[in-house]
Structure 1
Amino acid sequence: MFLCLYLHSLLRNNNPKIKITMGVNTTTAAPKTYSQEEAFKASLDYFKGDDLAARVWVNKYALKDSQGSIYELTPNDMHKRIAKEIARVEQRYPNPMSEDEVFDLIKDFKYIVPQGSPMAGIGNPYQIASLSNCFVIGNDGDSDSYGGIMKIDQEQVQLMKRRGGVGHDLSHIRPKGSAVKNSALTSTGIVPFMERYSNSTREVAQDGRRGALMLSVSINHPDSEDFIDAKMEQGKVTGANVSVRIDDEFMRAVKDNKKYTQKYPIFSENPKKTREIEAEKVWKKIVHNAWKSAEPGILFWDTVINESVPDCYADLGYKTVSTNPCGEIPLCPYDSCRLLAINLFSYVEDPFTEKASFNFELFKKHVAAAQRIMDDIIDLELEKIDAILEKIDADPEGGEIKSVEYNLWKNIQTKAKEGRRTGIGITAEGDMLAGLGIQYGSDEGVDFSVKIHKTIALEAYRASVYAAKDRGAFGIFDAEREKENPFILRLKEADEKLYYDMLEYGRRNIALLTIAPTGTTSLMTQTTSGIEPVFLPVYKRRRKVNPNDKDSRVDFVDEVGDSWEEYVVFHHRFKEWMKVNGHEITDDYTQTELDELIKASPYYKATSNDVDWLSKVKMQGAVQKWVDHSISVTINLPNDVSEDLVGKLYLEAWQAGCKGVTVYRDGSRSGVLISNEEKKESEDGESNSPFPTTRPQTLNADVVRFQNNKDKWIAFIGLIDDKPYEIFTGFADDEDGILIPRWVTNGYIIKNRNEDGTSRYDFQYVNKRGYKTTIEGLSHKFNPEYWNYAKLISSTLRHGMSIDKVVDLINSLQLDSESINTWKNGVARALKRFIADGTKAPKQKCSNCNSSNLIYQEGCLTCQDCGSSKCG
């Protein structure tokens, strides 16, 4: 039985190794495989030298089996695989697109780009996985029994192992202290279950990734404040994003400074528990935590529900309860969505010239094709779900163990068949506007973006109506249910013929549109991400070089002896602007010259740090009117903004019609409290630490070189008010081209973010030509063991321990490793430079006369009795 099901699964997915003829199994020649290096080299040529895009594609999307054998050499091999499968589905319906037609739309990431799971999974015979990017789950009847809670826990794990991101809402769980009929007598509330779900997420690996989880709760729930505070304690709920569902009544109470009544069950006419709160006080807590740690996000739930087309079918199982992890797809329990992005920059003709224009006719044609492809992907997803169900059937576990997983996928299958939800989005909005010479965030920019998204809405819905005519409407379509929906009414106002065609033929898909983040997708389209502006038009990277190559330039040698060349990286479309406008693309620009280039370009004052935050919120609200799901967008703020500004942005987002909003204040992730106890303050209200409680993004830094025995060392010491705040140190190289040139004695330590959201520390200095040079990932340059001790020492410095006491602490460390002891001595020596002259040395005696009358003098330990001095 298992063998039959397994072979059937392989055949369904077009496994190239298996061929069945007249009931006889014949094995064909194994397909050609490539090494990682072969695929990377070919992809590097494909991406015209963009090694980051090449590595991302090879590692995440190239077809490979569980042994790591790679079956695709370049992305166009992948595009052919996808086109073949889409064309196979097309043959089921009237007027099918050919494989070549589909390939021309998706090749080179130029026009239509299936995202993530569809890109990796379509036509993949080596992996039994879903094509859905995201899911929402929940219990029938909102059960908050332990059985129901454990069922959700298992369901999210089962989905994550199939590569899906998951969201679910906790508003159904009884608040803390509620009576329960078990030995505990009262419930523990929401927070312990947040931790359970978070921990489960962290345990699941998805092709080398952790799972992704969104937890939400209604502000109407009596435990919502505990939910809001849960992530403020270090180490808690680290495996989930959290968002608060906020209703209009609460927002009005905030505006009018009124009280608000929380209930359980939420919004019940006959609640078991009520709690009256000061709305503004809770609002300030939300704002403070978001300012401090970038969470919680906010979901304006009445806007979500009122605008939702699927909620017209709430009584049939389509009541929206939560969102996917990035917030762009609000979903009902057991529904899922697949994502696709349209590359907006590719429709700009003669970009960066006075003749630049947007080809709306081609764009409309391709939006229709994209919606058709999305509908085909639903059929492919249903095949994948069949394979998953067959796999579960064939698994050796008993039926009782498999029942939760089996029923989960049956529920998902039902929703996919019945609603046929799609997720068409975009990428390259920032580059599109720049290519047209329109400043991102300007009134003109907002107006043009709205025109683009209105066009997508009309053409995607038109394509869904025509698909319904040819293929049939989604199973529960009922125009009467939708007639008062605000989104449908906007379509009617914009295009009455489309509306009346929809009344006649129905619609193929229950909901169609979104704007998702397109992180790795935008690396491969080589454009700005999603709806966001450009992050930076120019930045700096490194490449490894062979120091024996006479043509190589060695800017520094790292701690393991590898040689590196630093070079300027231009954002791909900024480079295109340079070419069009006759600017040479070279590494030889000074920082001043680069600044002048940016000033002359359409990217000037249009980066993520430049765009006026309130205008970005208004733009999101205006575009949201033409997106039936939601928009994933983060408002990036500098470190020094006030909490009041965050509150104003949230309020403006609600008034502008946004469905959700997230802010990220630069460096705010490091502002999460170490414990759930607030720092004690002195009587005058000042912190008892002399340093800021949140690390500034940029610190002045001293570079200290020293030698222990034959080893040469280097230390980077971050300073506040000329006092040590943090330290990074380790071995330096013997060559002049070490991490930095020998003449560099100071610079800046800058806290930055990696693409995955983790933090890193970079060192920046100004070279002799006035050009800024940055060394990325300073915290990872040295031995990890050194770094762990450096964190301990930096912590003591940041909390105000006097430097002489810190040096004494370092000297007292009992360490087994000789190299660590050498490192320890070097750190002590580096920090001694900052001890004020005349400071008495604790617990030490002169090695010459045994006197304890020792003081620090210019960083050296000097005996006041005999005059001997020791600087090591």
Structure 2
Amino acid sequence: TDKARFDWDNYKEVVKVFTRMLDNVVEINGLPLEQQEGEIRRKRRHGMGFLGLGSTVTMMCMKYGSPASVEFTDKVARELALAGWEAGLELAEEKGPAPIMVEEFTVTEEMLRKRPEMKRDGWKAGQKIPGRLLHAKYSRYMQKIAEENPELVNKLAETGARFTHHSSIAPTGTISLSLANNASNGIEPSFAHHYFRNVIREGKKSKEKVDVFSFELLAYRELINPRAMPSSEEEGEKLPPYFITAEEITPVQHVDMQAAAQKWVDSSISKTANVPTDYDYEDFKGIYLYAYENGLKGCTTFRFNPEAFQGVLVREDDLKNTTYTFTLEDGSTVEVKGDEEIEYDGETHTAANLYDAIKEGYYGRF
């Protein structure tokens, strides 16, 4: 509704608490190799991310991929970065900076070529420079942070940060479903607001189809309209137009959303741009060029092909629009839609799951 708002103060406080928690994880990392142990203690890097961005955008009455949602994503990632580095300074003052920050490095000609500002500041090849200065003053990423909070970065240059890296947006599908009531995962939009999840049940010979609803749909039905359903044509069941899903978002919009977050994320982002099955090849190549031009560190695309892949998550329309052909013992064939149920071997299966289980060779192995 128009009363929806995002609690920025609480968000920033959670980021700071979470940063302290991740710093503590370094102490109990449990890494098996001595080299790994040494690496993590030297840099104390971690990768804080978030999930539920797509759900939040929808609940704020914005369409994922719209200019308003891109601006919102930029702020979400920026505030996470600023709050995180503020905590990084506090932790360094309290417990000491990461060891790499107090190490000294030899200035090279390559450094001066890649960072001409070092030469302007009087640095020469062969001189020694502390890690805290290289990180805070001459990192392209930290220079962006300095544009927002120069005082913070100046203090980090003096003290050294508690860690070298703070953020990374990972895929969080399982966590989103099991711990967040199916909020959208990572930086992604919701896969669909009502779909099926293929799950393995002990003793069942193929995967079982289970109904799943998105977090934002559940919230909308709880707070606004309990009858609301995606794709419904009934007047009392329609959802607002900002309830869109991954397949309704253009590849360019996917890239725009990732680019908005990427400039504030000092490590990597997991993000997938969904492309239509009949997408033109030249346009497909253009996605990667557009991603490169927007500074993305990586770009992943997904094109649905039911003949080659029957995924864990399945939309109802995909099942209805896909025909599977079964060859019987006498050589005859039967064609059925993916959402139709088949009685086979004493159990009821959806055609899609039965076809996939037989084709992939895992039928009856659970």
2:354 equivalent in structure 1: 778
Which structure's residues are more often strand, by fraction? 1
In the alignment, structure 2 segments of 5+ residues that lack a partner are: 102-130, 310-318
Q: Does the CA-based 8 Å contact 2:184-2:215 persist in structure 1?
A: no
Which residue in the other structure is 1:609 paired with? 247
Listed as ranges, the matches of 1:135-534 within 5 Å are 353-381=1-29, 384-385=30-31, 388=32, 409-477=33-101, 478-482=131-135, 483-523=137-177, 524-526=179-181, 527-534=183-190
Q: CA RMSD in A?
A: 3.8
Give 3-state SS (helix, strand or coil) of 2:48's partner: strand
Task: Output aligned runs, 1:603-752, within 5 Å.
Answer: 603=243, 606-667=244-305, 670=308, 698-700=321-323, 716-717=334-335, 731=344, 739=348
Question: Letter of the aligned partner of 2:184 in structure 1?
Answer: T
Whole-angstrom CA distance in 2 between matches of 1:729 and 1:573: 33
Contact 1:715–1:729 (Cα < 8 Å) also in 2? no
2:276–2:303 Cα contact (<8 Å) kept: yes
- Aligned-partner SS, 1:717: strand
Structure 1 pair 490/593, CA: closer, same or farther in 2 (3 Å)? same
The offset of 1:730, in angstroms, is 7.9
Matched, 1:577 2:227: no
User: Aligned partners of 1:609 and 1:419: how far apart in 2?
Assistant: 40
Q: Which amino acid aligns with 2:285?
A: G
Compared CA separation, residues 379 and 598, structure 1 to 2 (3 A): farther
After superposition, what is the alpha-carbon deviation per residue over 1:179-231, rounded to whole angstroms, capped at 9, x for unaligned?
Answer: xxxxxxxxxxxxxxxxxxxxxxxxxxxxxxxxxxxxxxxxxxxxxxxxxxxxx
Structure 1 position 479, deviation (Å): 3.3
- Within a 5 Å distance, the mapping from 1:737-816 to structure 2 comes to 739=348, 763=351, 776-779=352-355
Distance in 1 (alpha carbons) for counterparts of 2:138 and 2:257: 25
Structure 1 gap ranges (5+): 1-352, 389-408, 544-557, 672-695, 709-713, 720-727, 741-761, 764-775, 788-872
How far, CA to CA, are the matches of 1:786 and 1:484 in structure 2?
A: 54
Residues in 2 aligned to 1:652 and 1:363: alpha-carbon distance in whole angstroms: 31
| Secondary structure of 1:631 counterpart | coil
Whichever of the two has the greater Rg, that structure is 1
Aligned length: 314
Please list the CA deviations of residues 602-642 of structure 1 after superposition, one character each: whole Å capped at 9, or x if unmatched: 31xx2110112112112212211100111111112121112
What is the SS of the residue equivalent to 1:663? strand
* RCO higher in structure (CA 8 A, sep ≥6): 2
Percent of aligned pairs with the same residue?
A: 24
After TM superposition, the score normalised by the length of structure 2 is 0.75
**Relative to 1, partners in 2 of residues 1:668 and 1:643: Cα closer, same or farther, differing over 3 Å?**
farther
Q: CA deviation at 1:739?
A: 4.7
- CA-CA distance at 1:433 after TM superposition: 0.7
Q: Which residue pairs with 1:538 in the alignment?
A: 194
Kindly provide the CA deviation profile for residues 762-806 of structure 1, in whole angstroms up to 9, marking residues without a partner as x.
Answer: 64xxxxxxxxxxxx512256698898xxxxxxxxxxxxxxxxxxx
Deviations along 1:307-361, one digit per CA (max 9) or x if unpaired, are xxxxxxxxxxxxxxxxxxxxxxxxxxxxxxxxxxxxxxxxxxxxxx321111111
Any idea what the Cα deviations from partners look like across 1:433-483, whole Å, max 9, x if unmatched?
111111110000000000110000100011001100000011121233232
Note closer, same or farther for the CA distance 1:520–1:732 as it changes in structure 2 (3 Å cut): closer
Q: 1:598 to 1:570 in 2, by over 3 A?
A: farther
SS of 2:291's equivalent in the other structure is: helix
Measured after TM superposition, the shift of residue 601 of structure 1 is: 5.5
Q: 1:463 to 1:595 in 2, by over 3 A?
A: farther
Amino acid in the other structure paired with 1:525: A
Distance across 2 between alignment mates of 1:501 and 1:594: 59
Distance 1:669 1:779 in 2: 10
Question: Given residue 373 of structure 1, which amino acid in structure 2 is its aligned partner?
Answer: M
- Provide the C-alpha distance between the structure 2 equivalents of 1:582 and 1:618, rounded to a whole number of angstroms: 32
2:360 and 2:164 map into 1 onto residues whose CA distance is: 52
Alpha-carbon distance in 1 for matches of 2:231, 2:326: 22
Residues 777 and 505 of structure 1: is their aligned pair in 2 closer, same or farther, counting only changes over 3 Å? same
| Alpha-carbon separation, structure 2, partners of 1:635 and 1:472 | 41
Give the conservation status (yes or no) of the 8 Å contact 1:427–1:528. yes
Contact 2:273/2:301 (8 A) holds in 1: yes
Partner of 2:248, secondary structure, is coil
Q: Distance in 2 between matches of 1:595 and 1:633?
A: 35
Provide closer, same or farther for how the CA distance between residues 632 and 441 of structure 1 changes in structure 2, counting only shifts above 3 A.
same
The one-letter code sitting in structure 2 at the alignment partner of 1:777 is: N
CA–CA separation in structure 2 for the residues paired with 1:363 and 1:424: 13
Conserved 8 A contact 1:537-1:598: no
- Of Structure 1 and Structure 2, the greater helix share is in 2
| One-letter amino acid of the structure 2 residue matched with residue 472 of structure 1 | G
Are the aligned partners of 1:666 and 1:697 in contact in 2 as well (CA < 8 Å)? no
Q: Distance in 1 between matches of 2:64 and 2:84?
A: 25
Alignment CA distance shift 1:359-1:699 (3 Å)? closer
Contact 1:635/1:662, CA 8 A, preserved across alignment: yes
Q: Which amino acid aligns with 1:600?
A: P
- 1:732–1:445 Cα change, 3 Å: same
